[in-house]
Structure 1
Amino acid sequence: MRRGWKCAAAVAGAAVLVAAGAPALAQTAEPARTTAWRNGALRVDTAGVVSRSDFVLAKPSWESYQSMPLGNGRLGAALWAQDGFKAQLNRADTFPNLKSAGQLTVPGLLPLMRAPDYRGRLRLYDGELAQQGGGMSARSYVRADRDQFVLEVTGADPDKAQTADLRLWQGRTPAAYARQGVAALAETFKDAASGSLTGAVAAMTADGRGVTAKVVDGLTVRLTFRPNKDGSFRIVTGVPAYTGGDVGKAAGAALAGASDGAQRTEAYWHRFWQGAAPMRISSPDGTGEYMEQLRAQQLYMTAATMRSAVPSSHGGVINMFSPWQDAVHWSADYWWHFNLRQPVYTNLGADTEEYNTPYFRLYLDRLKQMRDWTKGHWAGAEGACVAEYLRYDGTAEACDSERPPDWLNRIVSTGPEVVHNLWLQYRYTRDESVLDEAYPLMRDVARFYLSILREGGDGKLHLEHVNALETQWDTSDPTPDLAAMRVIFPIIAAQADRRGDAALARDLRAALPRLPDFRTVTRNGEQVIAWSGTDEASHNTQNPDTEPLFPWGLYGADSPLMQATFRNRVFVQTREWSEDALLAARLGLAGEMRSLLVQGTKDFQIFPSGFGSHGKNDDPAKSTNYYNGWNAVVGSSLQEALVQSYQGVVRVAPAWPKDWDVAGSVQVEGGHRVSTEVRGGEPNVVGIQAAGDDTLRIANPWPGQKVRVVDGATGRGRPLAGPTAAGVIRLAVKGGHSYLLERVGEPYASFRFQGVGGQPATEVRRLGDRTLGVG
């Protein structure tokens, strides 16, 4: 799936660099009297702002759980200091068990790591880990243009021999190769269930003097060399996919172009950050800065893992950054959709939606297999049941009407959510080809629902013997499904009309008014939405009753029923995938959102690399997987609190905490970018960069005050809308133009310009006993 309407140059222009020497955003005597909006954009020193979220290593990462992540979207590396320098290399596609390609060890870096003046930094803006100490330096990165891990060292003793070992472990059966300064391990993996063959070759060479290679044993190969005369050396380890054949030829191909790549890698990361919607947060107690860094880590992780043919995470686990050999939680060959949805939504608001492509490819490329599975395993069904638990070969084991319900079997709301996310991808990118490619899946999901709905004695169409997420099994009329059908049936009907599928459009529109209403029950003396139409006991801790709020957007902050449902939800932030903070943001509950983010971070974010655990307060030293779900929740919550656009209305700072100041941008539906700065809970001005011709409805950011819209490039001229004190302002926009929303009593012209800047982090960031960085 292509990026759509935005070329790289257009994206890069959305957050513009401040000229050298321009002042950073800071607290002043009159903090509300400055603005970073100028000449049609929020002026941001992107490198400076991103570097605020660098991960500082005040001491080496001696333990595996302290490892730092690098990646290019297909190849990932976990780096720590054990035995001098260690990097575990993992691909995203070595199915069925996602086995590692091996660990690289360089003992000659031990003096650097043990040096009293050691310091290190994971530089997010450059996508590299830089370390210094004892007169030596080490720079590590995964090339953006090739699947190669690179270690560059300076300051080594030119007369002291260096070694580099590449090794696997017991239970692995690689082919080992060593010849003419190249050493390699290669292994393939045959899947008995599908017959597929995957694998990887890990081949290394060095830029140094007298490089020799040898096979140490069946699991280890070694390079020996001396540094160049200036004390520098470079080790390159190529790790492409491998499905068998001559190991020597595969090793040579893996190391092609090994002498270059640094500039293209930096260019990739700089382009990524210039295109991502910026966000800079400051707070008296440091909690805002901590959340800013978690969001930055989520975006960094996305760009470092999501460029393969399928999502790199499963069950919330990021195996590409694992330092724990082949240990994998859950089933490495399956995906749980509930753990994929949080990053998808974060990418939309962050303007990084191209990294949703592997997620969509997972389902679009397996439609035939899902359709065939449904025909054979769901009696009387048509179309395709999209499984909540989907295998990489398209096997949809969670869609089986003949098998008893369980944790995952008979969750059928996954298909509508994939369809809805495809629709949102179109809405944010304005790329018509998304809908063209999505329609077969849309059609089959609609046909599946229409075929399993059953008319009841009340004349309504009911769903029976299906699950409400993992919470309720074998229930009727789950709230997530009722919400899903209300949203996607009109969308699919409109697409069916465009494609001459009149019968499907007619059937969907006929079914819509016959869907049951959401059942309500009483909890704690308040009327709330029920999980489903029946009262089966709970199994997991998801809250099906909040699904109409997110992801389906059927209610807003003005709904007493939804507010009461949120207040009385049964399960409060129990796992790293819990979306409570995002729900609070949608409901305008700024204080609640803030406290949920802080508490959730204390509960789940246990690793100094920013990753989390599945449960509360797990011991990082005893854990063997990194989880990424929590940071996606943080990213989505911050974006939704600053700017939201569901229900067709753009709302600015609807849930932003008053003690957090922020300067930032969020992409909204239509692909428009909305920028503002909020201090003391109040925006100064609101800038809009229009992605295309549209009519926006914007909630007045200053309720009750008169506002107007002026040209965003000049900040002057005849008002394009207003003055008005209306609660919602209608604004016709043209693509490529910018607009500025200001208060009549405090216009843009009264603000002093001050760009959004930042300085590289100098200390390990802390929140209670949680850290970002190694201290």
Structure 2
Amino acid sequence: MGAQPLRLDIALFTPRDVADSVAHAKSEAERLAGIAEAELRRQTAAEWAKFWRASAVELEDKELEQIWYRNQYFLACCVKPGKVAPGLFGNWSTGRIGTAWHGDYHMNYNTQQVWWGVFSSNHVEQHEPYTRLVENLMPMAEWNARVQFGLPGAYFPHTAYPVPSNVNPYPAPPWGYEICETPWTVQSLWWQYKYTLDEQYLRRVYPMLKAAADFLIAFLTKGEDGKYHVIPTVSPENWGATVDYRLNRDCIIDLALTEFLLDAMVEGSEALGVDAALRDKWREVRRNLAAYPTAEGPYGRVWLDIVNAPVEHVYNVPVPLSPVFPAERVGLGSPPELLEFARRTARPGRVEGGNDLVWQPLARARLGILDLEWFKGEVRYCLTPLGVANDRVRQTGGRYRDETNFDFMMRMGVWTENLSLPAVINECLMQSYDGVIRLFPNTANLGKARFRQLRAAGAFLVDASWDGKTVGGVTIKSEKGAAARIVNPWAPGRAQVILLSTGAAVRHTERGGVLEFATRSGATYAVKRATESPAA
């Protein structure tokens, strides 16, 4: 007989889970010990099979494909419905590993970035811990607004911990006064609704969206120019507090995310049939927000992170690109002059390498200018031996100096924020953030590719392929019966829509290169290149 392998059945609970966590953990460990190893393996295999059925990509470039699958796996190892949302370093904490900055939640991109790819990857369930995190932060956020500012609504903290709190234990000045963190914290709650059209979920999160909007409406100051200004504020980890608010006025990410939230409030309130009396105010403020700060740079006029900031500054994260992402104000569907303005801002790429591994390439993909060969090099530069991409210094002149240890962040642990790398690849394969599906919008050094069941805004699941020259194999499954809008990937008028269950042609319109057709909940449609121009 062979030696009996060592087996440890471990269960871990806290008083937040059950009142008597010790007794419950012991009982659960005993229950697990009674299950045969073969059955445990079967259950585990079944769970992973279910996970991988949700979506898939097949890329000719196997390095890109590996980035997609590896990070989907790592993220699934630390994000699970019903569990605590991961902090800066997720599950992986021991000694000096995973304990920098207390391993806490930082709400000026780190925490939000973890979930940037879950919707397009069709893993909506992974967002559940974040929804509960925001719910748990509400008492503290309302306290912040009421006590620190004397204002209504909710002002979300810069740092937080996975325990309920009615007060802010660590205000973290000056970074705690980054106004953008309030609309940013609630942004993905709106994304979940947009990508699922789940009205029950919207009813759950609407009060949090409204609380954030209430604070912003009260905080904004209407100037003599008739515009609403964000004064004072702090650019995300740039400049700090300055004399006479010289660098504390109208941060571009504050303005762009406020636009995002106010648009969401109008649409969300209409969907739920509530707060009709507030919509005119939301629209008026949205319409009259201050302009994004700009200046003339060596390559032309560009966005700045904040009024009076120098051009060509080396940023820790690409704050000047905020109107592109995360705020989704500018993209491939924008007027050509605005799109070129955004591209001109993006091209110099003056970011230091500390915190931009996902954000910068994602914004470039949204603009259709991401070179995936460059992207692979950036990821490769930051890889650990285990295949996790952390952060390494790339450029000095911002927060870092020549004497800075270039890999000081590599040893801190697993940076969960970078497990969202699949989002960058997804945005090269398909974009839909503005309600229009764009297939393979960024193909520079992509190679042949195909994907299955990527999720689009409007509650659609999409399949498509790219042979290096043309798009094919397009199917769209409608979960909620919304109207589908898709950029015609072929010549104008040379597309047809087929209902797969019957093979019948579906009536569609085409305006400005965008196909639009009605859908039925649960139905799947093929979009094909027509041999003859179909009747519209």
TM-score bin (small chain): 0.7 to 0.9
The residue that corresponds to 2:92 in the other structure is 321
Matched, 1:505 2:292: no
Contact 1:707–1:725 (CA<8 Å) still a contact in 2?
no
The residue that corresponds to 2:375 in the other structure is 597
Residue by residue, what CA displacement relative to the aligned partner does 1:215-236 show, whole Å, maximum 9, x if unpaired?
A: xxxxxxxxxxxxxx34343412
Q: Distance in 1 between matches of 2:153 and 2:103?
A: 27
> Which of residues 498, 513, 516 is equivalent to 1:710?
498
Q: Distance in 2 between matches of 1:725 and 1:741?
A: 16
Q: Distance in 1 between matches of 2:23 and 2:112?
A: 41
Contact 2:388–2:414 (CA<8 Å) still a contact in 1?
no
Alignment of 1:49-448 (within 5 A): 229-242=1-14, 250-260=25-35, 261-275=40-54, 277-282=55-60, 288-307=61-80, 311-315=84-88, 317-318=89-90, 320-322=91-93, 328-378=99-149, 380-392=150-162, 393-394=164-165, 397=168, 405-406=173-174, 408-448=175-215
Q: Distance in 1 between matches of 2:491 and 2:181?
A: 38
Q: Which has the higher contact order (CA 8 A, sep 6+)?
A: 1
> Which of residues 425, 428, 432 is equivalent to 1:645?
432
Matched, 1:545 2:320: yes
Q: Distance in 2 between matches of 1:572 and 1:384?
A: 32
Instruction: Give the direction of change, closer, same or farther, for the CA distance of 1:323–1:420 in structure 2 (3 Å limit).
Output: closer
Q: Distance in 2 between matches of 1:432 and 1:352?
A: 18
Q: Distance in 1 between matches of 2:148 and 2:158?
A: 15
Matched, 1:586 2:366: yes
Q: Distance in 2 between matches of 1:519 and 1:247?
A: 56
Matched, 1:672 2:469: no
Residue by residue, what CA displacement relative to the aligned partner does 1:311-358 show, whole Å, maximum 9, x if unpaired?
A: 54323x23x135667652221344444112233220000000111111
Contact 2:141–2:155 (CA<8 Å) still a contact in 1?
yes
The residue that corresponds to 2:291 in the other structure is 517
Q: Distance in 1 between matches of 2:362 and 2:229?
A: 30
State the AA in 1 paired with 2:43.
R
Normalising to structure 1: TM-score of the pair? 0.60
Instruction: Give the direction of change, closer, same or farther, for the CA distance of 1:326–1:563 in structure 2 (3 Å limit).
Output: closer
Matched, 1:626 2:401: no
Instruction: Give the direction of change, closer, same or farther, for the CA distance of 1:398–1:447 in structure 2 (3 Å limit).
Output: farther
In the TM superposition, what is the alpha-carbon distance from 1:505 to its structure 2 partner?
3.0
Comparing both structures, which one devotes a greater share of its residues to helix?
Answer: 2
The residue that corresponds to 2:343 in the other structure is 563
The residue that corresponds to 2:401 in the other structure is none
State the AA in 2 paired with 1:254.
A
Contact 2:139–2:166 (CA<8 Å) still a contact in 1?
no
State the AA in 2 paired with 1:744.
A
Gap runs ≥5 in structure 2? 242-247, 395-404
Instruction: Give the direction of change, closer, same or farther, for the CA distance of 1:274–1:377 in structure 2 (3 Å limit).
Output: same
Q: Distance in 2 between matches of 1:449 and 1:438?
A: 17
Instruction: Give the direction of change, closer, same or farther, for the CA distance of 1:509–1:718 in structure 2 (3 Å limit).
Output: closer
- % identical equivalent positions: 21
Residue by residue, what CA displacement relative to the aligned partner does 1:486-537 show, whole Å, maximum 9, x if unpaired?
A: 2211321344464643453343233222211223211113111221233379
Q: Distance in 2 between matches of 1:622 and 1:479?
A: 30
In the TM superposition, what is the alpha-carbon distance from 1:746 to its structure 2 partner?
9.8
Instruction: Give the direction of change, closer, same or farther, for the CA distance of 1:737–1:347 in structure 2 (3 Å limit).
Output: same
Normalising to structure 2: TM-score of the pair? 0.84
Q: Distance in 1 between matches of 2:267 and 2:21?
A: 53
Instruction: Give the direction of change, closer, same or farther, for the CA distance of 1:467–1:725 in structure 2 (3 Å limit).
Output: closer
Q: Distance in 2 between matches of 1:399 and 1:623?
A: 25
Contact 2:104–2:159 (CA<8 Å) still a contact in 1?
no
Contact 1:399–1:412 (CA<8 Å) still a contact in 2?
no
> Which of residues 721, 735, 738 is equivalent to 2:521?
735
Q: Distance in 1 between matches of 2:358 and 2:52?
A: 27
Contact 2:500–2:524 (CA<8 Å) still a contact in 1?
yes
Q: Distance in 1 between matches of 2:50 and 2:151?
A: 46
Q: Distance in 1 between matches of 2:170 and 2:145?
A: 7
In the TM superposition, what is the alpha-carbon distance from 1:578 to its structure 2 partner?
4.3
The residue that corresponds to 2:398 in the other structure is none
Instruction: Give the direction of change, closer, same or farther, for the CA distance of 1:267–1:309 in structure 2 (3 Å limit).
Output: closer
- Aligned pair count reads 501
Residue by residue, what CA displacement relative to the aligned partner does 1:167-203 show, whole Å, maximum 9, x if unpaired?
A: xxxxxxxxxxxxxxxxxxxxxxxxxxxxxxxxxxxxx
Q: Distance in 2 between matches of 1:700 and 1:646?
A: 17
State the AA in 1 paired with 2:158.
E
State the AA in 1 paired with 2:110.
N
Partner SS state of residue 697, structure 1: strand
State the AA in 2 paired with 1:371.
E
Q: Distance in 1 between matches of 2:259 and 2:410?
A: 45
Comparing both structures, which one devotes a greater share of its residues to strand?
Answer: 1
Residue by residue, what CA displacement relative to the aligned partner does 1:382-419 show, whole Å, maximum 9, x if unpaired?
A: 2110123223344675996xx8x52x221121221233
In the TM superposition, what is the alpha-carbon distance from 1:687 to its structure 2 partner?
1.3
The residue that corresponds to 1:491 in the other structure is 264
Instruction: Give the direction of change, closer, same or farther, for the CA distance of 1:539–1:409 in structure 2 (3 Å limit).
Output: farther
Instruction: Give the direction of change, closer, same or farther, for the CA distance of 1:310–1:375 in structure 2 (3 Å limit).
Output: farther
Instruction: Give the direction of change, closer, same or farther, for the CA distance of 1:581–1:540 in structure 2 (3 Å limit).
Output: closer
Residue by residue, what CA displacement relative to the aligned partner does 1:446-475 show, whole Å, maximum 9, x if unpaired?
A: 111111111212122211121122224341
Q: Distance in 1 between matches of 2:276 and 2:494?
A: 47
The residue that corresponds to 2:400 in the other structure is none
Q: Distance in 1 between matches of 2:205 and 2:511?
A: 42
Contact 1:461–1:511 (CA<8 Å) still a contact in 2?
yes
Instruction: Give the direction of change, closer, same or farther, for the CA distance of 1:539–1:330 in structure 2 (3 Å limit).
Output: farther
Contact 1:576–1:629 (CA<8 Å) still a contact in 2?
no
Instruction: Give the direction of change, closer, same or farther, for the CA distance of 1:531–1:618 in structure 2 (3 Å limit).
Output: closer
Contact 2:13–2:22 (CA<8 Å) still a contact in 1?
no
Q: For the aligned residues, what is the CA RMSD?
A: 3.1
Partner SS state of residue 709, structure 1: strand
The residue that corresponds to 1:700 in the other structure is 488
Larger displacement relative to structure 2 (674-683 or 489-498): 489-498
In the TM superposition, what is the alpha-carbon distance from 1:643 to its structure 2 partner?
0.8
Q: Distance in 1 between matches of 2:406 and 2:308?
A: 35
Q: Distance in 2 between matches of 1:306 and 1:548?
A: 28
Residue by residue, what CA displacement relative to the aligned partner does 1:231-289 show, whole Å, maximum 9, x if unpaired?
A: 343412313114597968853543323132332222211111112x110111xxxxx21
